[in-house]
Amino acid sequence: MTVPSLIQPLKLRDVEFPNRIVLSPMQMYAAQADGKMTDWHMVHYGKYAYAKFGTIFTEILCVEKRGRSTYADAGIWNDNHIKKLQKIASFIRSQGSVPAAQIGHCGPKSARQRPYDGLQPLKNRNNDIEPAWEIISCSGVAAAPGYDTPTPLTNANVKLLIKKFGNAARRCHLAGFDVLDVHAAHGYLIHSFLSPLSNFRADQYGGTQFNRNRFAIEIAQEIRKYWPENKPLFFRLSCIDRFPGGLKLEDTIELAKDLKKAGVDLIDCSSGGIKGPNSLFSLASQKPPTPGFQVPFAEQIKQKANIATMAVGMISEPQHANRVIESDQADLVALGREALMNPNWPLHAMRELTEDKNFDSWPPNSGWWLEVRQRMLNSSDPNDWKVGLAAKNTPGAN
């Protein structure tokens, strides 16, 4: 029997991914105010490991305290964050999945309310419970209408932040993660350097595309000093800005080539995020996104930059995800909101894409019961399912 492309393994550096299904990094706003994860996160990521997501990413782990979007964001800015992350990574690995971490800095989108509270600057709440803090960015350009104007980073502070990304990578390695993804999209700090719509610097980090790319490339180079050579490094990019004068796909293809030279193994292909509170903002006046609307970015970057890619965005059907891999449009497919809707998505996909009609691909302590249930539901004779159950319990029976 031919194994569907979606559930075939993939090897990058020395890490083997058991299948091509990835839990995308998603901010859950459940961390403590000091950035530490809790048992909630263990349960959250654990259910996806049990469901056989091949790779499971944490949400963005902020490289410094002021880089948080909200007070409930997770952190990796000091060694105290490592212990809980170790437990999470260890459990993910014990279930046969690859533990992966994402790191980043929210930059001009820091010091905000949680999305379900409005996603507006904390200063608008006017209370002392969660006071706002100074936000920083590439230039003094507000991230969205009504947002605070950030303080532009000095050249010296740019260098300090690059080192913080390196130290964050070191901590992720100590925590036991096998893959690292750098969030350089959605209007966050690194993206603010990359986009001509937010970068108005006149030093070596602004002006030309080469200079605007410098911050991201130097971060990749710094991370590779601490992130082991045998472990893959991913970069999440907003491949286009969706605004006139913003980043075009051709710009991102050139950046991807340079990131590859700096030690990056895969581009995590997203889009948008400039001039709005979230990555879908610039779609509001256009047509709603369609399934796989960002897959063409992954395909073009994979072909023209000769680097592995990960597709993400409104991919919900197993057959669609399998076609993305089968047609070589991307090497991995990441699910976010669809995973929230159906945490057992990989298990259902394996049944749909293969001849597994008896839940054999499911963990046995679930699959056994589900097969019995299926026999009961499908039986026209009340006693037929008992015969099937007896056969199932017979040693050596199929």
- pLDDT value of position 262: 98
User: Which candidate in 71, 188, 205, 226 is catalytic?
Assistant: 188
Mean pLDDT of 256-270: 98
Report the distance separating Cα 230 and Cα 381, nearest Å.
57
What confidence category does residue 275 fall into, taking pLDDT thresholds of 50, 70 and 90?
confident
- pLDDT value of position 30: 97
The H-or-E segment that residue 165 falls in is: helix 155-174
The pLDDT tens digits for 30-56 are 999 999 999 999 999 999 999 999 999
Concatenating the DSSP letter of every residue in 56-77 gives: EEEEEEESSGGG-SSTT--B-S
Residue 143 confidence (pLDDT) above 50: yes
Query: How far is C-alpha 263 from the geometric centre of its chain's CA atoms?
Result: 19
Lowest-pLDDT range of 54-68, 130-144, 353-367: 353-367
Report the distance separating Cα 310 and Cα 250, nearest Å.
18
| Residue of higher predicted confidence among 329 and 118 | 329
Residue 392 confidence (pLDDT) above 60: no
Give the chain's mean pLDDT.
93
End-to-end CA gap in the chain: 18
What confidence category does residue 387 fall into, taking pLDDT thresholds of 50, 70 and 90?
low
**Quick check: helix, strand or coil at residue 305?**
helix
Mean pLDDT of 323-339: 98
- pLDDT value of position 394: 47
Residue 188 annotated among the catalytic residues of the structure:
yes
User: Which fold, 5-354?
Assistant: TIM Barrel (3.20.20)
Residue 395 confidence (pLDDT) above 70: no
The pLDDT tens digits for 154-208 are 999 999 999 999 999 999 999 999 999 999 999 999 999 999 999 999 999 999 9
Query: Are the C-beta atoms of 201 and 158 separated by less than 8 Å?
Result: no
Residue 82 confidence (pLDDT) above 70: yes
Query: Are the C-beta atoms of 107 and 188 separated by less than 8 Å?
Result: yes
Q: What is the pTM of this model?
A: 0.94
The pLDDT tens digits for 229-257 are 999 999 999 999 999 999 999 999 999 99
- pLDDT value of position 128: 76
Mean pLDDT of 14-21: 98
Tokens linked to 251: 């710009």
- pLDDT value of position 397: 41
Mean pLDDT of 91-99: 98
Residue 126 confidence (pLDDT) above 60: no
Residues in the chain: 398
* DSSP β-ladder status, 15-17 and 98-104: unpaired
- pLDDT value of position 277: 74
Query: How far is C-alpha 370 from the geometric centre of its chain's CA atoms?
Result: 31
Mean pLDDT of 294-312: 98
What confidence category does residue 383 fall into, taking pLDDT thresholds of 50, 70 and 90?
low
The pLDDT tens digits for 54-63 are 999 999 999 9
User: Where are the domains positioned within the chain?
Assistant: 5-354, 357-398
Mean pLDDT of 340-357: 94
